[in-house]
Amino acid sequence: MAHESHQHLPNSLFGRLLVLTRALAMIALLIACVPLYYLWHPFTHHNPWPRYFMRAIARIAGLKIRIIGRPSRKGAFILANHISWLDIPALASLSGTAFVAHDGLTAHGWLRWLGSLNDTVFIARHDRKSVAGQVRQVREAIRETGALTIFPEGTTSDGHTLLPFKSSLLSALTPVPDGIAVQPVLISYGKDTPNIAWVGDESGLDNFLRIASRTRRIVASVRFLEPLSGEALANRKTIAAAAQRAIENARREIPARPPV
């Protein structure tokens, strides 16, 4: 079971200094990258700065990314399991992907603005009237970034089991446009998974502080599986089922490790 913390700061002085150093480095990085993003924005459909930013965030957080397989070379919808906020910089730094997020995040203005820099598509899960508009946003995000990621579980898991994939979250992704691959991706943190996973009643802030106070490097394995094809692409339900099956099969190939 993942560790649950209810303390907003690490106990040790070194841990607190490490959190402060990493937080300040991330803020400085954002301040440096935003003007460069806007400078490049009028001249390219594939702005490189979000990817550079995410790659640097991963390094600051102490994340080493190990890639297995190949991201699709054409436009892609990426369907990945979800364990931690670290999944986002890991995937973005490898593929330059944008993300699909639930519209509840728009209540936090700064999160909406930050997400918009990476062409995040905010989905209104319970408003079917908005699906057409969301489809347009999805197409635009693919055009801008070349890849768009959704976490079909709808939330983070403990990393050892997959939650059911929610086909309703794929409404804006179907029908899949011509020339766009649908690629399942498995994310794993190996033996560190129980200490990385954001589950239970732990707040996002506590999870961030717990990870940012770590002195040991975190290794994330990101495995790009074969894109779905044939009948698996018939509709959102077949896509969800086939993607979950592919990720579950890949997960079972990982040697079992005891919790730490």
pLDDT tens digits along 161-214 = 899 999 888 887 788 888 889 999 999 999 898 889 988 788 888 889 989 999
> If we measure between CA atoms, which residue out of 238, 84, 67, 242 comes closest to residue 151?
84
> If we measure between CA atoms, which residue out of 250, 241, 83 comes closest to residue 170?
241
**How many whole angstroms separate alpha carbon 29 and alpha carbon 34?**
9
pLDDT exceeds cutoff 80 at 68:
yes
Asked whether the beta carbons of 83 and 44 are under 8 A apart, the reply is: no
Mean pLDDT of 218-226: 95
Q: What is the pLDDT of residue 25?
A: 97
Q: Could you tell me which residues come within 8 angstroms of residue 139 by beta carbon, excluding any fewer than 6 positions away?
A: 177
Indicate the pLDDT class of residue 127, thresholds 50, 70 and 90: low
Indicate the pLDDT class of residue 6, thresholds 50, 70 and 90: very low
Half-sphere exposure of 121 (CA within 13 A, CB side): 33
Q: Residue 114 CA to chain centroid, in angstroms?
A: 14
Q: Which comes out higher in pLDDT, residue 250 or 179?
A: 250
Q: What is the pLDDT of residue 106?
A: 53
Q: What is the pLDDT of residue 174?
A: 82
> If we measure between CA atoms, which residue out of 4, 124, 213, 71 comes closest to residue 79?
71
Q: Which comes out higher in pLDDT, residue 231 or 12?
A: 231
Q: Residue 121 CA to chain centroid, in angstroms?
A: 13
**How many whole angstroms separate alpha carbon 187 and alpha carbon 82?**
7
Average pLDDT, the chain: 84
pLDDT exceeds cutoff 60 at 107:
no
Q: What is the pLDDT of residue 1?
A: 42
Q: What is the pLDDT of residue 161?
A: 87
Q: What is the pLDDT of residue 219?
A: 95
pTM above 0.75, yes or no: yes
**Residue that the structure tokens 């943190």 belong to:** 189
Q: What is the pLDDT of residue 33?
A: 95
> If we measure between CA atoms, which residue out of 116, 58, 139, 123 comes closest to residue 92?
58
pLDDT exceeds cutoff 60 at 129:
no
Count CB-CB contacts under 10 A for residue 259. 12
Q: What is the pLDDT of residue 86?
A: 94
Indicate the pLDDT class of residue 134, thresholds 50, 70 and 90: low
Indicate the pLDDT class of residue 109, thresholds 50, 70 and 90: low
Mean pLDDT of 218-227: 95
Q: Which comes out higher in pLDDT, residue 248 or 122?
A: 248
Go through the domains of the chain in sequence order and give each one's CATH number: 13-252 (3.40.1130)
